[in-house]
């Protein structure tokens, strides 16, 4: 296959692999039966994975396997068996989210390329550089990036980049959603998202779909993405039917060729869309027009005639592989056919030709047979003949030689992609639980600098990075043990963050709370001690080890772990849990308030949305993104009472005033039960 941007298609079943291949995809990505972020898709067992990989390789395509969920310690051995199968099948890369699992894969299968899933939430140049330094070959960029931000990342680092160009837009930055988990125990980070965001949510002036975005479509910008150096154009939709895959791939191929017409656009919109499409993130037009939902009209627009036409797109084999033949026929020598395709070559021999009694075999007759490559992925071959005159050779023998050469070449495309796998020793899976002899300290995260005196004795108090320097200096002078929180999302704002970190370092701040891979080095490079937040998804012992290796001195554990699961984690890095505060169900760049037509200019950065049961979910904006907060306060401090496996508790305040902060802090200090409505979060019930 030639250069240019890769068209990467989704496949939830083998029929979609065929649909992708026959309409021009360069590669497909599929999910394993376990540990795939689309667990509801049919996905691929061992036999199906082998069949799909061979099918793709025979056509010069690549196949990537998604093993992109968070993985518990007790699941690592089974997850690594999936990697073993992928190595044996010759899968071209693994798409992974869990940093601890990635480290294990690098040791067990060092030849297996790793692609960092969009679930890693990477959206900055420094994030891409960090992944590249960790050994990742490719990063699947966050969907929320603009044209300029993508270009900045591409130019900053040799890592391959993959951009979603068509398909569903999650409201939340991928890898950061707790909505489905908190509402029903079904974790999006574990591939079990129940899509509660597609339910009705209301803001003033909105249409009741404040958490539902239209589907993304960047078809008009594919050539631009290719020119800026993006490696792969990714189509979302492993749970979609093959007709959708065919329509999307065909539209992408047509767009790259400058041949995308309204009929193909209309077909793609009819087969699946949510009130049409949006390019709002890419163009920077984040507003009301981005919001939409799957309506009855959207569903009924795809009739049987459309599906029948789309099936026709992948009825026949796509001709994609180059082929050269040289046929040699000499008196007294066995006939020979040499074949060449890309880097592969093969030959077949036939019988010695006889002297012709009637019409001798000529080049035109041979070429007519060698051109019969129908039903194969080969383009019409270039043919050279070297034939002595007066010889006879049967057409059936030429056909047999052609079939033999093609089969040998296809076998070569299939083979050679297997990768070594080294089984870890049994001790690799033995985890010695971490224990501390010290009483856990208390840390407080604030949404502003209005800190009550009561929390002055905390071991750390975090305030927002972009707080006024004079207020931060005042808190330091007052005796607060102060740190700053780098925003969870810093779309296009790396330079601003660096400048602010340097400013605050100069006034005496030495601690930074980081929530994204890309923020770790920003803090460390400015001289800060870096502390990891829950948003880094420390879900197992190896992920804790990986975060320690990146330079963190401690980390908050994932809010999707139970207290009992936390107690079994090993490693050496200090760790804590967020025990108090309204859990951030989502963080989004498309603020729900904009679905009602409001802009940032007329917003006070503290608003609400309402669900269908009239619960109010508070919104908190930091200027980069908006957190959507659980309407029920988490107060889980007593679950961890007398724990010897945590070094600190974090009280995470977002919208509370200083009186409420003092009240909750005192309740924790006194180990009091709270009256009223509160939740233990997921620390008892966990997630699937």
Over residues 596-608, mean pLDDT: 81
Please provide residue 589's backbone torsions phi and psi, each rounded to the nearest 5 degrees: -85, -25
Structure token pair of residue 488: 């969870």
Share of the chain above pLDDT 70, in %: 98
Q: Are 26 and 252 in contact (CB under 8 A)?
A: no
pLDDT per residue as tens digits for the range 544-569: 999 999 999 999 999 999 999 999 99
DSSP strand E in 486-632: where?
Answer: 511-514, 529-532, 554-556, 574-581, 584-588, 606-611, 616-621, 626-629
Residue 19 is predicted with a pLDDT of: 97
Task: pLDDT band for 641, please (50, 70, 90 cuts).
Answer: confident
SS3 content of the chain, % helix, strand, coil (to 5): 35, 20, 45
Task: Write the CA distances from 278 to 187, 216, 293, 458, 604, integer angstroms.
Answer: 27, 5, 12, 46, 26
Helix ranges (DSSP H) in 195-345 = 222-228, 242-256, 262-271, 280-283, 296-300, 304-313
Q: What is the arrangement of strands in the sheet containing 201-202, beginning at the earlier edge strand? A: 201-202, 606-611, 616-621, 626-629, 584-588
* Residue in 567, 538, 313, 560 with CA at minimum distance from that of residue 434: 567
Q: Are 113 and 88 in contact (CB under 8 A)?
A: no
609, β-bridge pairs = 617
The length of the chain is: 688
- Is the confidence at residue 658, as pLDDT, over 60? yes
One-character DSSP codes across 577-612: EEEEE--EEEEESS-GGGGGT--GGG--SEEEEEET
Residue 3 is predicted with a pLDDT of: 67
- Is the confidence at residue 149, as pLDDT, over 60? yes
- Is the confidence at residue 429, as pLDDT, over 80? yes
- 10 Å CB burial of residue 504 (0-12, 13-18, 19+) is buried
Q: Domain map of the chain by residue range? A: 6-169+213-316, 324-414, 439-581+633-670
| 276 φψ region: left (φ > 0), alpha (ψ -120 to 50), beta (else) | left
Residue with tokens 């880097």: 343
Residue 41 is predicted with a pLDDT of: 63
pLDDT per residue as tens digits for the range 2-49: 469 999 999 999 999 999 999 999 999 999 888 876 666 667 888 999
Residue 426 is predicted with a pLDDT of: 85
Share of the chain above pLDDT 90, in %: 89
Q: Are 252 and 233 in contact (CB under 8 A)?
A: yes
Structure token pair of residue 551: 């330079």
What architecture is the 439-581+633-670 domain classified under in CATH? Alpha-Beta Barrel (3.20)
How far apart (Å, rounded) are the C-alpha atoms in residues 64 and 25? 13
Residue 39 is predicted with a pLDDT of: 62
Residue 275 is predicted with a pLDDT of: 87
pLDDT per residue as tens digits for the range 282-318: 999 999 999 999 887 777 677 788 889 999 999 999 9
Task: pLDDT band for 1, please (50, 70, 90 cuts).
Answer: very low
How far apart (Å, rounded) are the C-alpha atoms in residues 609 and 266? 33
How far apart (Å, rounded) are the C-alpha atoms in residues 109 and 422? 6
Over residues 641-662, mean pLDDT: 95
Residue with tokens 């007759």: 365
CATH code given to domain 6-169+213-316: 3.20.20.70
Domains 6-169+213-316 and 439-581+633-670 share a fold: yes
Mean pLDDT estimate for the chain: 95
Residue 297 is predicted with a pLDDT of: 74
Residue 300 is predicted with a pLDDT of: 67
Q: Are 66 and 95 in contact (CB under 8 A)?
A: yes
| 229 φψ region: left (φ > 0), alpha (ψ -120 to 50), beta (else) | left
């Amino acid at each position: 296959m030639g250069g240019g941007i890769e068209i990467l298609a989704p496949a939830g079943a083998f029929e979609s692999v065929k649909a992708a291949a026959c309409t021009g995809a360069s590669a497909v990505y599929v999910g394993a039966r376990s540990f795939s972020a689309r667990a509801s898709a049919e996905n691929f067992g061992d036999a199906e994975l082998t069949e799909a990989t061979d099918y793709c390789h025979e056509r010069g395509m690549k196949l990537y396997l998604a093993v992109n969920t968070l993985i518990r310690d007790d699941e690592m051995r089974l997850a690594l068996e999936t990697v073993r199968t992928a190595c044996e099948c010759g899968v071209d890369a693994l798409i992974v989210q869990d940093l601890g699992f990635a480290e294990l894969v690098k040791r067990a299968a060092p030849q297996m390329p790793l692609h960092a899933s969009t679930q890693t939430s990477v959206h900055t140049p420094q994030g891409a550089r960090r992944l590249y330094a960790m050994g990742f070959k490719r990063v699947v960029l966050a969907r929320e990036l603009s044209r300029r931000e993508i270009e900045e990342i591409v130019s900053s680092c040799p890592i391959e980049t993959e951009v979603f160009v068509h398909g569903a837009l999650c409201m939340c930055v991928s890898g950061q959603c707790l909505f489905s988990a908190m509402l029903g125990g079904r974790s999006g980070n574990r591939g079990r998202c129940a899509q509660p965001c597609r339910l009705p949510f209301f803001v003033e002036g909105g249409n009741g779909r404040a958490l539902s975005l239209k589907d993304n479509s960047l078809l008009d910008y594919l050539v631009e993405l290719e020119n800026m150096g993006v490696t792969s154009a990714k189509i979302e939709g492993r749970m979609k039917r093959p007709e959708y895959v065919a329509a999307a791939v065909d539209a992408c191929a047509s767009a790259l060729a400058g041949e995308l017409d309204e009929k193909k656009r209309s077909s793609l919109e009819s087969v699946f869309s949510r009130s049409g499409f949006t390019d709002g993130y890419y163009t920077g037009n984040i507003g009301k027009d981005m919001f939409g939902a799957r309506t009855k009209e959207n569903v009924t627009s795809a009739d049987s005639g459309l599906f029948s036409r789309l099936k026709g797109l992948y009825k026949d084999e796509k001709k994609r592989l180059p082929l050269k033949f040289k046929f040699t026929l000499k008196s007294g020598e066995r006939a020979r056919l040499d074949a060449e395709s890309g880097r592969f070559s093969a030959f077949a021999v036939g019988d010695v030709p006889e002297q012709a009694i009637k019409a001798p075999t000529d080049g035109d007759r041979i070429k007519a047979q060698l051109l019969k490559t129908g039903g194969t992925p080969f383009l019409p071959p270039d043919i050279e003949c070297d034939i002595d005159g007066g010889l006879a050779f049967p057409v059936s023998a030429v056909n047999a030689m052609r079939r033999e050469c093609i089969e040998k070449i296809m076998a070569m495309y299939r083979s050679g992609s297997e990768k070594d796998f080294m089984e870890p020793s049994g001790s690799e899976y033995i985890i010695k639980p971490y224990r501390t002899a010290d009483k856990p300290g208390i840390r407080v995260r604030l949404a502003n600098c209005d800190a009550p005196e009561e929390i002055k004795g905390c071991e750390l108090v975090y305030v927002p990075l972009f707080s006024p320097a004079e207020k931060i200096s005042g808190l330091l002078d007052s005796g607060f043990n102060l740190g700053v929180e780098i925003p969870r999302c810093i779309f296009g704002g790396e330079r601003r963050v660096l400048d602010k970190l340097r400013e605050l370092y100069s006034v005496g701040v030495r601690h930074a709370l980081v929530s994204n891979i890309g923020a770790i080095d920003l803090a460390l490079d400015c001289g800060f001690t870096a502390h990891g937040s829950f948003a880094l998804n420390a879900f197992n012992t190896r992920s804790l080890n990986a975060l320690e290796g990146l330079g963190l001195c401690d980390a908050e554990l994932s809010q999707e772990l139970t207290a009992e699961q936390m107690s079994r984690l090993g490693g050496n890095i200090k760790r804590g849990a967020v025990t108090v505060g309204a859990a951030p169900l989502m963080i989004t760049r498309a603020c729900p308030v904009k679905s009602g037509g409001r802009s940032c200019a007329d917003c006070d950065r503290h608003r609400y949305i309402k669900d269908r049961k009239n619960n109010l979910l508070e919104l908190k904006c930091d200027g980069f993104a908006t957190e959507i907060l659980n309407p029920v306060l988490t107060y889980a401090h007593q679950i961890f009472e007398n724990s010897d496996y945590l070094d600190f508790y974090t009280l995470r305040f977002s919208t509370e005033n200083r009186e409420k902060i003092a009240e909750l802090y005192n309740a924790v200090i006194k180990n009091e039960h709270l009256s009223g409505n509160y939740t233990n979060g997921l620390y008892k019930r966990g997630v699937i």
